[in-house]
Each structure stands twice: as structure tokens, then as C-alpha cells.
Amino acid sequence: MAVLELSNIRKDFGSQTILNGIDLAVEDGEFVAILGFSGTGKTTLINLMAGLEKPTAGSVTFRDKPVTGPGPERGVVFQSYALMPWLTVTSNIALAVRSAMPKLPAKDLAARVQKYIKMVGLTHAATRRPAELSGGMRQRVGIARALAMDPEILLLDEPLSALDALTRGNLADEIEAIWEADRKTVVLITNDVDEAIVLADRILCLDPNGTMGAEFRVTLPRPRGRTAMNHDPAFKALRAEVTGHLIAAGAHATE
């Protein structure tokens, strides 16, 4: 059953059409990656799913109900982390938990916050503020914040693209491990082919003209640690195929 469905979406900014004729259904428990060059409307697409923006035409439905605005059942991890700079790691996550579960007693709330801080490995930094954390640590807080709200679907908007290559790889592996344990429905926006293949069940390419391009199923067995993948022939073949499609679509757009 599709959890999140987009049908025939168009999104204009002024006279410019960013997205056109997008049809997309995300199944329950599925990890979908949306892959595209920068400027193809990836962030706009996830904002539509989150309810932060409204489509010009077409409809977004979540569990068969139309999406009218954002809500805690659709957790978002932002590219720029978007942590409150005046709050500690604990308080940042507690703020989210309190809004998502207003009836939770204070003791359970604290325990829940602790659990997710531990899950992303930041127990030692729980009392620090975002300015005292590295980029990777900040994004871990962002992920913990989104997970602690217990959303039905997790929307990741290029969560790793502001990080350096090494941190990026490590955090991608960690996201996979967390997802393995939780099996939440996830939509990941990315411009990194390797990242999409390591993490996703299904890869959708967003073409530069704002339409949906090719779709790839990823059937590689999990866990797919990044280092192991580097020598896997199936991984290499898929990477070549996806990259080939992206380059062809990009070339077509610039003609």
C-alpha cells in the first residue's frame, strides 16, 4: 500500500515550471532515493511531501488523505541541519518530542530523548550547543530529532551533502544501520549515486526538465557497507547504469 502518493504534480515559481507531471508512490517501509543534479527541483519535491509548499497543480496524499501542511508524522531532516542554536543537543530533541507527543510524562520524555541521542552516538555531547559540534555531529542531532518524533515517514533533504567525503560515508553507513533497526519509510533526496545505491531499495531519477526519469530497483543484500560495495560487481554495474542515465539526461537537457 502506498503511504505517500504524488499524482500529476506541477510546481511553478513565477513563470518558471520547476516540476511537471510527477507521479510517485512510496510504499510502506520502503527506502526511496530521489537522485538528480542540483537545480532539478529536488528540494521543492521534498517540501511538497512535507507540506511546506503547495503544488500548483496535482495532489499530494498521505495515507489517502490530502496533505494540507507540515506535521510531525512526516519528519524532515534538513540539508542545513536547522538546529536551534540557543538550545543544547538534549533540548533540541526534547523540543521536538514535546511537540510531537504533548501528553508524554516528563520522565518518559527524558528517557526517549536519551535513547535517540545514544542511537546516533552523541551521549558525550548531549549538553553541548550546535556551535560546539562538527557538521557530522550536527546532522546526527538532526536525524535523532526527526526519529525521536516517531514519524511515519522520514524525509531526508540532502542530509549529507554539506559534509566532507569521509564523514559523509560514515554517516551514510550509520543511517543504513538505523534504518535496518527501525524499518521506517524513508524518502532520501541526494545527488550522490553511491549514497543512493548503498541506502535505497528504489532509486528515482529526477531529470533536469523537472519530470521523473528512469527508475532503478536496488536488490543488493543488506547491510551494504560502503567499503565492501566498492568491490562488488553488481554494485559497480548498477552505478554505471545510473550514472549513464543521469549523464544522458543532463546532456539532453543542455542540447
Partner 1 sequence: MTAIDPSQLAEAREAKRTRRLTRINKAEGWFKVIGLPFMAPLLRAIAGDDPRGQMKLLWQTLFVPILSILCFLGLWAVLAPKVHTSLGTIPGPAQVWSQAVALDAAADREAERRVAFYERQEERNAKLIADGQRDKVQNREYTGRPTYYDQIWTSIKTVFMGFVLATLVAVPLGIAAGLSPTVNAAINPLVQIFKPVSPLAWLPIVTMVVSALASGDGGMSRSFIISAITVTLCSLWPTLINTSLGVASIDKDLVNVGKVLKLSPWARVTRLVLPSALPLIFTGLRLSLGVGWMVLIAAEMLAQNPGLGKFVWDEFQNGSSDSLARIMVAVLTIGIIGFLLDRMMFAIQNLITFSDKR
How many whole angstroms separate alpha carbon 59 and alpha carbon 118? Answer: 38
**Could you say whether residue 89 binds partner 1 (CB under 8 A)?**
no
Residues binding partner 1: number (CB under 8 A): 28
Q: On the CB side of 176, how many CA atoms lie within 13 Å of its CA?
A: 21
**Could you say whether residue 36 binds partner 1 (CB under 8 A)?**
no
Instruction: Report residue 5 as a C-alpha cell.
Output: 502518493
How many whole angstroms separate alpha carbon 13 and alpha carbon 226? Answer: 38
Strand partners, 156: 77, 188
**Could you say whether residue 11 binds partner 1 (CB under 8 A)?**
no
Site residues for partner 1, 143-172, by CB under 8 A, read: 149
Q: Single out the residue of 14, 4, 56, 25 nearest to residue 212, CA to CA.
A: 25
Residue 51 Ramachandran class (φ > 0 left, ψ -120 to 50 alpha, else beta)? left
**Could you say whether residue 99 binds partner 1 (CB under 8 A)?**
yes
Q: On the CB side of 22, how many CA atoms lie within 13 Å of its CA?
A: 36
Q: Which is nearer to partner 1, 68 or 243 (CB)?
A: 68
Q: Which stretch binds partner 1 (CB under 8 A): 45-53, 118-126, 170-178, 230-238?
A: 45-53
Q: Which stretch binds partner 1 (CB under 8 A): 54-62, 82-90, 104-112, 163-171?
A: 82-90
How many whole angstroms separate alpha carbon 8 and alpha carbon 24? Answer: 9
Q: Which stretch binds partner 1 (CB under 8 A): 6-14, 94-102, 185-193, 244-252?
A: 94-102
Site residues for partner 1, 236-255, by CB under 8 A, read: none
Q: Which is nearer to partner 1, 154 or 203 (CB)?
A: 154
Binding site for partner 1 (CB under 8 A): 50-52, 69-72, 74-76, 78, 80-87, 95-96, 99-100, 129-131, 138, 149
